Amino acid sequence: MLKEVEGIIISETNYGETSKIINILTNDGIVGVMAKGSKSLKSPLRSYTQKFTYGKFYLYYKENKLSILKSVDIIDDLISIKTNIELIGYLSYISDLIYQIMKQNYDKDLYNLYINAILKINDGLNPKIICNIVELKGLDYLGVGINFNTCVKCGSMKNIITINPDEGGYICKNCYTNEKYHDEKTLKMLRMYYLVDISSISDLKISDEVINNINNFINIYYERYTGLYLKSKKFLDAITT
């Protein structure tokens, strides 16, 4: 049966002398595909089976077996990302993160979240903000989502004055002890990140201070609650700080 899937190649493994097995992150989840002869210089598949190729993949689909790649139509060459080492770092990490989330809790919305994030980064939007939005939305699928409505200690919806990653969310005035104080802009923007539809973002006017506050919050929260330790995150941190 011939089948068409849309997605991005997230890994490739050599198979024999001339073939490769590629894993494509698609709107149907992760699909493993045999790309026969794709390492050979003459193969028409050669340039379309590299990691991070974004396209439509036509497969001879086999239920419960490895499908065979027939042909590929490129949707976008993601050239702005692929010519910038920092953006490649973001692409690698976001791909890894979505893959890990899909393994734990597949949901087809994750694919749209992923593709929209990558396209916005390719369009030149601030990659740190886009990445943080993906991370924040991803928490719900990992089962450790943040409650954006109430104080984590007492459940009050009133007088929220800061947020603390170690305690897992908002802190109200009555429960405040000695947590790091975050201004109202940071608190509001964190919630906006969670609610926004990435595909609708056209420009971002957020101060560096707020961007960094949120990034620090999310980094600490991820380390503490998700149990994910990704090499691609370490690499990204190394090239961006």
Residue in 135, 114, 125, 136 with CA at minimum distance from that of residue 81: 125
| 231/190 Cα distance (integer angstroms) | 25
Of 38-46, 77-85, 149-157, 201-209: span binding Zn ion (CB under 5 A): 149-157
Nearer to Zn ion, 137 or 182 (CB): 182
Interaction between residue 161 and Zn ion (CB under 5 A)? no
Interaction between residue 157 and Zn ion (CB under 5 A)? no
Q: How far is the CB of 148 from Zn ion (least distance, A)?
A: 14
Interaction between residue 176 and Zn ion (CB under 5 A)? no
The amino acid at residue 89 is: G
| 93/134 Cα distance (integer angstroms) | 11
Q: Which of 102, 139, 172, 236 binds Zn ion (CB under 5 A)?
A: 172
| 26/31 Cα distance (integer angstroms) | 7
* Interface pattern 2-41 for Zn ion (x via CB under 5 A): ----------------------------------------
User: HSE (CB half, 13 Å, CA atoms) of 14?
Assistant: 5
Interaction between residue 175 and Zn ion (CB under 5 A)? yes
Q: Say how many residues touch Zn ion, by CB under 5 A.
A: 6
Q: Which of 33, 91, 131, 151 binds Zn ion (CB under 5 A)?
A: 151
* Cβ–Cβ < 8 Å for 105, 140: no
Nearer to Zn ion, 53 or 164 (CB): 164
State the residue for tokens 């190394």: 238
Interaction between residue 98 and Zn ion (CB under 5 A)? no
Q: Which of 66, 74, 154, 195 binds Zn ion (CB under 5 A)?
A: 154
Strands 19-26 and 29-35: antiparallel
Q: How far is the CB of 190 from Zn ion (least distance, A)?
A: 17
Nearer to Zn ion, 75 or 152 (CB): 152
Interaction between residue 160 and Zn ion (CB under 5 A)? no
Residue 101: both structure tokens together: 């989330």
State the residue for tokens 């989840």: 29
Q: Which of residues 197-226 bind Zn ion (CB under 5 A)?
A: none
| 40/38 Cα distance (integer angstroms) | 5
Nearer to Zn ion, 95 or 162 (CB): 162
State the residue for tokens 């598949």: 45
Residue 199 forms beta bridges with which residues? Answer: none
Q: Among the residues of the chain, which ranges form H helices? A: 79-82, 85-104, 109-122, 127-141, 184-195, 208-225, 231-240
* Interface pattern 105-144 for Zn ion (x via CB under 5 A): ----------------------------------------
For Zn ion, the binding residues (CB under 5 A) are 151, 153-154, 156, 172, 175
